[in-house]
Amino acid sequence: MNDLILSARGVTKRFGGVLANDGVDLDVRRGEIVGLIGPNGAGKTTFFDMLCGVKPKGFRLGPDEGTVTFDGHDVTRRPAHEICRLGVGRAFQVVRIFDGVDVLGNVAVGALVRSASLVEAERRALEVIELVGLGGRAHVLASELTLAERKRLEMARALATQPQLLMLDEVMAGLTPRELQDAIEIIRGICARGVTVVLVEHVLEAVMSLCSRVVVLHHGRKIADGTPGEVVADPVVVDAYLGVDHG
């Protein structure tokens, strides 16, 4: 069995004269938790969009150059809903929930991707709500949730699609230390259930704690790919983050 679940080759994306992604390669194996890090403007979210089939407003779908393969399927220019049905779940940096709907309803929307009925979708949604620690909040309006709970709700809706690969875009930003530790444990639990995870994150404590491998982007290019220890000791990475001259 091929353990490679996601492979990107030479992914390039231009926004007018701006080169957001420049020939980025990435391999992700089943069961991994891979962190994608880099300074602001490094191209991380754009790269996520290229992997998930999210169309940037005013630009064509998919990368301008390169290929993306998921679980043996060429998904280079497939739209997000098709890639989701193949088994990729995505949680967004800017939480995209229905404020006027309760937690259960929000998560059931995701579960409908693979459910034959609303009853089945709600059953699946309740399981996921428990998994992310929102069990007691199922019938609370999304508008009444705290930031940490909204982040969990965003994660839960992606999980409800029953993904093989879960892609998390800054789901730990803005959390307190206690909330951060809870989020780390939730993600570990998700991976333990057989879901592969790729996450974009600025909270390096979480990245170093969670990830078996870390990939670093800078100015749209991949500059490092290795274990957390290897990456934090890489002079090129230190320079990208701190502007230190290692001459």
Q: What is the pLDDT of residue 55?
A: 86
Rounded distance between C-alpha atoms, residue 142 and residue 119, angstroms: 20
Quick check: 184 pLDDT over 70? Answer: yes
* Torsion angles phi and psi, residue 44, rounded to 5: -65, -50
Rounded distance between C-alpha atoms, residue 179 and residue 147, angstroms: 10
* Rg, Å, the chain Cα set: 18
pLDDT-derived band of residue 239, with 50, 70 and 90 as boundaries? confident
Quick check: 197 pLDDT over 50? Answer: yes
CA-CA distances (angstroms) from residue 172 to 91, 107, 111, 175? 11, 19, 23, 6
- Mean pLDDT (the chain) is 92
175: left (phi over 0), alpha (psi -120 to 50) or beta: beta
How confident is the model over 197-202, as a mean pLDDT?
93
Quote the percentage of the chain above a pLDDT of 70.
Answer: 97
pLDDT tens digit string along 70-122?
999 999 999 999 999 999 999 988 888 898 999 999 999 999 999 989 999 99
Task: Kindly give the residue spans of alpha helices, DSSP state H, lying in the chain.
Answer: 44-52, 80-86, 103-111, 118-131, 147-159, 177-192, 204-210, 228-232, 235-242
pLDDT tens digit string along 122-136?
999 999 999 999 999
Quote the percentage of the chain above a pLDDT of 90.
Answer: 81
Q: What is the pLDDT of residue 243?
A: 60
pLDDT tens digit string along 141-150?
999 999 999 9
* Torsion angles phi and psi, residue 246, rounded to 5: -100, 5
How confident is the model over 13-30, as a mean pLDDT?
95
Q: Which two tokens stand for residue 150?
A: 């909204």
Q: What is the pLDDT of residue 246?
A: 41
Q: What is the pLDDT of residue 245?
A: 46
How confident is the model over 22-51, as a mean pLDDT?
94
Q: What is the pLDDT of residue 2?
A: 66
Residues 28 and 20: beta-carbon distance below 8 Å: no
pTM of the complete model: 0.91
Classify residue 57 by burial, with Cβ atoms within 10 Å: 0-12, 13-18, 19+: exposed
Quick check: 247 pLDDT over 50? Answer: no
